[in-house]
Amino acid sequence: MTGTDTELEAQIAEWRSYMLRRKAISEADVDELEDHLRERVGDLTESGLKPDEAFLIAVKRMGRMDELSREFAREHSDRLWKQLVLDPDRDAAADTERRRGLLVMIACAALGVIAIKLPALFGLGFDDSGDFYGRNIGLLVLAPLAVYFAWRRRLGGAAIGVVAGLFAVGAIANNAYPFDAESQSIVLSAIHLPLLLWFVVGIAYAGGEWRSGQKRMDFIRFTGEWFIYLVLIGLGGGVLTAFTVGVFGAIGVDAEVFISEWLMPCGLAAAIVVAAWLVEAKQSVIENMAPVLTRVFTPLFAVTLVAVLVAIGVTTNAIDVERDMLILFDLLLAVVLGLVLYSISARDANAGPGVFDWMQLALVVSALLIDVLVLIAILGRITEWGLTPNKSAALGENLILFVNLAWTAWLYVSIIRRRKRFAVLENWQTGYVPVYAAWAAAVVLLFPPLFSFA
């Protein structure tokens, strides 16, 4: 009897793994269906069937769910149910698709390498033309990524036009504006152009459907996972570089020019496309990486921020608002926003409020309180010293993040009190994405003329 039981368990486990391959069915759904399957198997065995017969019948009825009950040659009688669940055509199609994705990735990574080395043909070496590369690196490495997604998503003509047009506008504004040599605007553009272009890549990522909240959330998820892969590749690249320098140094060959002119720029350009490909190809491997990191760091950040608030309260020391302080607090708000975004992107929108939501609320509220203190100090300085491009950009970003987090905090309160559904918060965050893009565009396109290229 126990023999048939373990056999049944093995069959159910195998059935589970096949159900989990379907992208439309989440793990929780499979849990639910498994419960259903077991109930039905139980009922059928009670009515006199043997467990394996009962399993076959139960799975046959379940198989209708995604209409996969297509006939295909029997392999083993004990795996008979596979033909009811599996679609051989689809697996073959998925293989072809994977191979195609790999080829497109290789082509686009090569494109990235060419793009970053092409200026060298015109005498702009990576080492000695820091100014040129500083301005254009975002353009050079992100354009191949946009091509990759346009290709993979089979982007329509209109969407291709929009993406290409925005890249062109960024390129022209960034290179045609007559910046002063030592201007702040040039640095601001170098920082904000990649940001702006990243959102343009998002249009290609969404296959042109950038208005869809779902697609925006997918892009947010993609961004986090892409970043993790990029960092991992970067770490590997660092080890490779160290070994290259060391080993060639040992035999008396100086590899440094090769590394700084070829290995690093080409590696970076290729890694950007490869990381994007990895996110999609290896989805199941790292899918939960960003949410896991979020879970680990949300409490830690919350505790740190509360500690800062307590320290300010106890010592009554005002925050010292030096030059770089605004940037620091922009980064703080961005990190908090990132933690909120990744926990939102991974959270089951139907789940009720839990301890983690309280933690998120504590994190957001403490970040907001600290930011209020900073903003007050900053406004004092600005009224005293006037606006510069740096201060204006940082202040604008601060306000944009502040508004987002303030409303997020309010929504969290409503959700925890069960006044609102979690989906409202998700909609708020995805709806807010264009604001960041618009601000980045303003800094790149409007700031230089506004501040007369200072």
Partner 1 sequence: MHIAKDLVAASATPLVLGILAEEESYGYAILKEISDRSGGRLEWTEGLLYPLLHRLERLGHVESSWRTPEGGRRRKYYAITEDGLRELAEQRKQWAAVTDALQDVWKATRTLGPVLPPALEA
Query: 229 vs 224, 255, 302, 331, CA distance in Å?
Result: 9, 27, 26, 21
Among 88, 156, 238, 352, the residue binding partner 1 under the rule CB under 8 A is 352
Phi, psi angle pair for 349, to nearest 5°:
-60, -20
Of the pair 36, 90, the CB lying nearest partner 1 is at 36
CB of 94 to partner 1, least distance (A): 22
Please list every residue from 369 through 408 that binds partner 1, using CB under 8 A.
none
Q: Is residue 97 within the footprint of partner 1 (CB under 8 A)?
A: no
In the set 16, 22, 60, 61, which binds partner 1 (CB under 8 A)? Answer: 61
Q: Which of 5, 29, 6, 3 is nearest to 16 (CA)?
A: 29
CB of 50 to partner 1, least distance (A): 21
Helix (H, G, I), strand (E, B) or coil at 253: coil
Residue 52 to residue 45: CA distance in whole angstroms: 9
* Residue 217 touches partner 1, criterion: CB under 8 A: no
Q: Which stretch binds partner 1 (CB under 8 A): 44-52, 217-225, 349-357, 365-373?
A: 349-357
Cα–Cα dist 313/317, whole Å: 8
Which of 12, 20, 33, 162 contacts partner 1 by CB under 8 A?
A: 33
352: its two tokens: 């009720």
Quick one: 18 exposed, middle or buried, by C-beta within 10 A (0-12, 13-18, 19+)? middle
For position 35 contacting partner 1 by CB under 8 A, the verdict is yes
Cβ atoms < 10 Å from Cβ of 127: 11
- Check residue 22 for interaction with partner 1 (CB under 8 A): no
Does position 66 bind partner 1 by CB under 8 A?
Answer: yes
Nearer Cβ to partner 1, position 376 or 423? Answer: 423
Question: CA 447 to CA 450: how far, in whole Å?
Answer: 5
Burial profile 273-308: b = 16 or more Cβ within 10 angstroms, e = fewer: bbbbbbbbeeeeeeeebbbeebbebbeebbeebbeb
Please state, in angstroms and rounded to a whole number, the distance separating the CA atoms of residues 419 and 437: 31
Does 47 help bind partner 1 (rule: CB under 8 A)?
A: no
- When binding is defined by CB under 8 A, the residue of 16, 22, 40, 391 that contacts partner 1 is 40
Q: Does 31 bind partner 1 (CB under 8 A)?
A: yes
136 or 430, CB closer to partner 1? 430
Q: Closest distance between partner 1 and the C-beta of residue 428, in Å? A: 17
- Where does this chain touch partner 1 (CB under 8 A) — which range of 3-11, 26-34, 211-219, 296-304? 26-34
Residue 322: count other Cβ atoms within 10 Å of its Cβ: 9
Least distance between partner 1 and beta carbon 22 (Å): 13
The least distance separating partner 1 from the CB of residue 34, rounded to whole angstroms, comes to 9
Pick from 21, 64, 74, 79: which binds partner 1 (CB under 8 A)? 64
Rg from Cα positions in the chain: 27
Of 3-11, 33-41, 260-268, 430-438: span binding partner 1 (CB under 8 A): 33-41
CA–CA distance, 42 with 407 (Å, rounded to integer): 50
Task: Kindly tell me which residue out of 49, 65, 110, 191 binds partner 1, with binding defined by CB under 8 A.
Answer: 65
- Candidate residues 62, 84, 321, 368; the one interacting with partner 1 per rule CB under 8 A: 62
Choose one: 5-13, 35-43, 223-231, 260-268; the region binding partner 1 (CB under 8 A): 35-43
Question: Quick check: 164 and 200 in contact, CB under 8 A?
Answer: no
Segment 67 to 86, residues that bind partner 1, using CB under 8 A: 67
- Establish if 421 lies at the interface with partner 1 (CB under 8 A): yes
Q: Is 446 left (phi over 0), alpha (psi -120 to 50) or beta?
A: alpha
CB 276 within 8 Å of CB 148? yes
Q: Using CB under 8 A, pick the residue from 5, 9, 27, 39 that binds partner 1.
A: 39
Number of residues located near partner 1, criterion CB under 8 A: 21
Sign of CA dihedral 121, 126, 129, 132: positive
Residue 182: what are its φ and ψ, rounded to 5°?
A: -105, 25
Q: Which residues bind partner 1 (CB under 8 A)?
A: 28-29, 31-33, 35-36, 38-40, 61-62, 64-67, 349-350, 352, 421, 423
